[in-house]
Structure formats: C-alpha cells, structure tokens
Structure 1
C-alpha cells in the first residue's frame, strides 16, 4: 500500500470511529473501565456512616476526635489491545472481513482511550508474538497503531493465544485494561493464561465472527482454503450429514468458548462482520458500568 493510500485509509477510519466514539461511548467508557488503584487524598472528620476501617488513629489521637482517611481513584489507565492477526481473521462474506472489523474495533477503543487521557498499547500475535507497541498517550500514537495494523504482515498464520497472553502478563507489571480481539479459533488451551492474566489485569474478550461461519451452505462439492494451515480441502457441502456435523461442531466450540470466559471471570462480547458491532460493544460497556 502506497503512503498516500495508507494515510487516506487511516484518516477515513479515524473520522468514522472518532464520531462513533463520541456518539455511542460518551460516558460509558469512563464508568466501565475505572481505575482500580486508590491513592490517599486527605483526612476528614468522621461522620455517621463512614467506614470505621478508614479511621486515621494517629490524627484521631492528636486532636482527640475521630478522623477518617479519604482515598481517591487512580484514574489514569493503560489500555492494551492483544490483536490476533492469524490467517483465519482474513475471512469475511458480509460488509467486511474479520480483519477489517478488528481494525474498526481497535480504532474505537484507541480513540476512547485517547479521549479519556489513557495510554494505549498493542500486541500483535499469531502462534508467536509478532509485534509489541508500548503504551503511550495521544492521538498520534493511536494513529500509529492503526497504521501498523493495516500494513503489518505476520510471519506466521496459526493461532496460539496463550503465547500473546503470557507475553502481556510478563511485560506489563502495572494493572491495565486488556482487550483480547480474536475469532478465538485456537486448537491450543488458553484458559489458564487468560485466567492468570485476569487476576491482575482487567481482561475483556471481543470475539469476531462472520455469520457464514455458523453453518455450511448447500453448494455441492467445493474447494475450501484453510488460511491458518495453508492447505486446500475439498468439502461435500451437498451432504446433509456433513452440514449437520459442521453446525454441531460450531455450536460445541462456541459453548466451550463461553465456558472458558465464564470460568476465567472475563467479560466478553461477540461482534459480527455484518456491521452491528457497536450495539454489542455498547451493551458490554453499559453492563460493566452497573
């Protein structure tokens, strides 16, 4: 992609998603992803209803009347995007591919972080960590992440999410918000890595999917390309048994994924390439705000 074409595409993404960010997530982002750290602010006279555990006994003894410590939330956050750029995310039959959807979702989250004066960083992952972008504040840094996501060519095509999650956990020491954006087609077990990361960080999973993945159409004998393994397979979609087996396996995989998120305590949303992802993101933000 030429520089001029790249800049035009990034500008289009910024204009589209910045408007959506202001319109849809005006206050939800701040309330959904609050800083978890608390810092000491001041002491005040004890009033009925104050938590007795907050009494400052040194000040109380000095003035011979009860005082309590007042803490305030550490608002500044670091937001990380763990982006699965493996081969399966190139698939798409509707308005956009899963990779294009990932770009838009990443832009919405990045500009939400910028608007809230939070740092934003990214990890590109396949079955290896392909690229790490340390968190920084500001629009220019968010735009740089989007440019990299558009241009970056991964060396690998397969998925192993636990690799990216372990890297995130090892390199990020301060509690952060982490969005894992993927279709979660991973033959490897990433439950432990996700659960351990969620103990320290605020992990959120965003599953990307295309409606055509739910069931096979009846198109007879067709050639299908496995983007992760790089092989071509012939599939007899004219067979009802083949189609039913595919649907059953898909539903089982989605139930397994739901169970992984539930057991690890990670909030998640499923975002479709049909273009209705904003509603699901907004629903997730509102749920976390309560």
Structure 2
C-alpha cells in the first residue's frame, strides 16, 4: 500500500514539471505550415517565434517589388522571376490557463487528468520562454484562482508551477466547483489582464460544453488567439468490458460493459459531444486538440505538432 501523501501520477510535483523542459526542446509549436493553420492558425500574423521576419511564401515577381527579395533558386528553376514574401512578427504574450477542479482528479490507468494538464502546461511554458516571448499562467481550482502575469524570466515560470502544484494537491480534500463556475471566475480575473494579441492556451477536460463556457471562451478570442487542449481519460470514452456499478455520489447505475450496443452508444456519445463542441469553436476560429491520460504526454504533443 502506498503511504505517500501525494503519490506520483496521481499528484504532480515541482520537480515533475521542471523535467518537462527537456520535452519542450524536442518539438516546435509552429511545426509545418499546414499544421500551423490547423492548430495555431489564429487571426494574427505573429505566432510563437518572437520578433523578426517570418517566411510566408514564394510568388511571382510584380514590377515595383523589392528586387532584394528575389528567390534566385526558384527563378532559375522556373525561368520566371519569383519573390520571397515575409510577414513581420510581433511579440505575442502567452497566458496558459489550467483547470485543476475536481473533475480533473480522475485517471483509470496511468495518470490523472490533473497531472497531464499540469505537464502539458509546463511543456508549453518552457517552449514559449525558449522562443523569447513572455509567458504567464492562471490556475483555477475548487478553492480559488491564482494568476501569474506574463514575464520573460525563468523565476516567473517557476512561480506559475508552484501555483499549479498547490492547486493540484488541494484536490485531495477539495469540494467540486466545476469547470463552468471556474472558467467564469477566471474570465472575471483576466479581463483586465489580456488586452489584445495574446495567445491563450486553455487546458482542461471541458467536462460540460455549456453555453456559458462557450460564451466566455469565444469572448477571449475576439482580440486574441485561443487554443484549447482537452484532457480526457480512456474510461470516459470506452466502457470497461465487465458489469459494474457506476455513481456520481448521489445516484448509482448498473452498467453492462459487456454489451456491444451499450459500449458503442457510450463511445458515440463522447465523440459526438466533442465534435459538436469542436464545430462550435471553429465558428470562432478556435482550434482544439485532445490529450489522453494513458499515452506519454511528450509523445502525444510531438505527434500533434509534428513536422518540426
């Protein structure tokens, strides 16, 4: 029996989050052009590389263009004058919002959702810092909200991690508040922090895709780029192939996980709810991707942003 007060993979430690720096060095949040459009393609030209010029495309030369930007290799190959086009990049402060409410305190095989969310937040924070942009974070739990304003130094990242660990460990004794109320309190807290041209990562299980949640998230995206990461456990999508009793603390239900029809209906319900939410977010040009609690986070994130 494990007598640790905060066993590994159930809870997260500061040391666990610092180790994520190694993972952040092995992929790019930008990846290739097609992938950027599908994951991080927001309304602004700037992404996560900091300041400078970002290569965009090669096009035919038009009289009046700057001859210094002629792509001589393409010109020689095609026998037509081509130009390299660049877009100017601006600084884009990054704010990472992490859900550490009670619904995140669940994991059926390897890690809890709350641990995976914290690890993902650490990977993103280190990657953004490496690219030279300011990074900060907000952690919301059942007992409150902590905000760390975006800055460009390692001390600030570690402060954010400390808030993450604190809220994560409170899950042991906290009373459920719920994502809806949590995101509302976050929104009230950050409306004076984010102005425009921020990149906002929201990491959580989005346990219920309520209209209130959609309203707050879409409002954030009006003048900022927003990316959602949904953390889920396999048991939330696939029933265990046995007969068992499930409950929510108030009601109980006998579930026959052996019956194929019930299993398929359960899985279809999860997938349809997600696709509906994804479609709703797409209306606001907000990309979303999924991270599960079973596979290694580093492998998943590299696959999502592959092409680096």
Query: Smaller-chain TM-score range?
Result: 0.7 to 0.9
Q: 1:203 aligns with which of 226, 239, 246?
A: 226
Unmatched runs of 5 consecutive residues or more in structure 1: 40-46, 51-69
Q: Which residue of 2 aligns with 1:177?
A: 199
- Hey, what does 2:28 align to over in structure 1? 25
Distance 1:73 1:273 in 2: 35
Larger mean CA deviation between 118-127 and 101-110 belongs to: 118-127
Q: Residues 27, 219 of structure 1: CA spacing in aligned structure 2 closer, same or farther, 3 A cutoff?
A: closer
User: Is the CA contact 2:118–2:164 (under 8 Å) kept in the aligned structure 1?
Assistant: yes
Residue 10 (structure 2) pairs with residue 13 (structure 1): no
CA distance in 2, matches of 1:233, 1:34: 47
Match of 1:264 among 274, 280, 284: 284
Instruction: Indicate the larger mover: 89-98 or 215-224.
Output: 215-224
Does the 8 Å CA contact 2:139/2:163 hold for their aligned counterparts?
no
Q: Which residue of 2 aligns with 1:141?
A: 156
Tell me whether 1:77 sits opposite 2:100 in the alignment: no
- What is the rounded CA distance, in whole Å, between the counterparts of 2:49 and 2:289 in structure 1? 21
Q: Is the 8 A contact 2:197 2:224 kept in 1?
A: yes
Report deviation, 1:218: 3.8
Tell me the C-alpha RMSD between the 2 structures. Answer: 3.7
Is the Cα–Cα contact under 8 Å of residues 80 and 135 in structure 1 kept in the other structure?
A: yes
- Kindly indicate whether the alpha-carbon contact (under 8 Å) linking 1:194 and 1:264 is maintained by their aligned counterparts in 2: no
**Change over 3 Å in CA distance of 1:110–1:274 after alignment to 2:** same
Quick one: distance in 2 between partners of 1:219 and 1:233? Answer: 20
The change in CA–CA distance for 1:26 and 1:181 in structure 2 (over 3 A counts) is: closer
Give the counterpart of 1:123 among 125, 138, 142.
138
Deviation at 1:204, TM superposition (A): 0.4
C-alpha distance in structure 1 between counterparts of 2:240 and 2:87, whole Å: 58
Counterpart selection for 1:48 from 64, 85, 89? 64
| CA shift digits 1:207-260 (9 cap, x unpaired) | 101112112224324243x4xxxx243221127465555334323312222212
Match of 1:254 in 2: 274
Cα deviation, 1:68-119, whole Å, max 9, x if unaligned, reads xx99432x33111111122111111222111110111011011112212222
Whole-Å separation in 2 of the counterparts to 1:49 and 1:214: 55
Count matched residues. 252
Q: TM-score, normalised by structure 1?
A: 0.72
Considering fraction of residues, name the structure with more helix.
1
TM-score by length of 2: 0.68
Contact 1:162–1:193 under 8 Å retained in 2: yes
One of 111, 115, 119 as aligned partner of 1:96? 111
Distance 1:166 1:259, change over 3 A: farther
Gaps of 5+ in 2: 41-46, 54-62, 67-85
Would you say the 8 A contact 1:128–1:156 is kept in 2? no
Secondary structure at the aligned position of 1:278 is classed as: helix
Residue of structure 1 aligned with 2:243, choices 192, 206, 220: 220
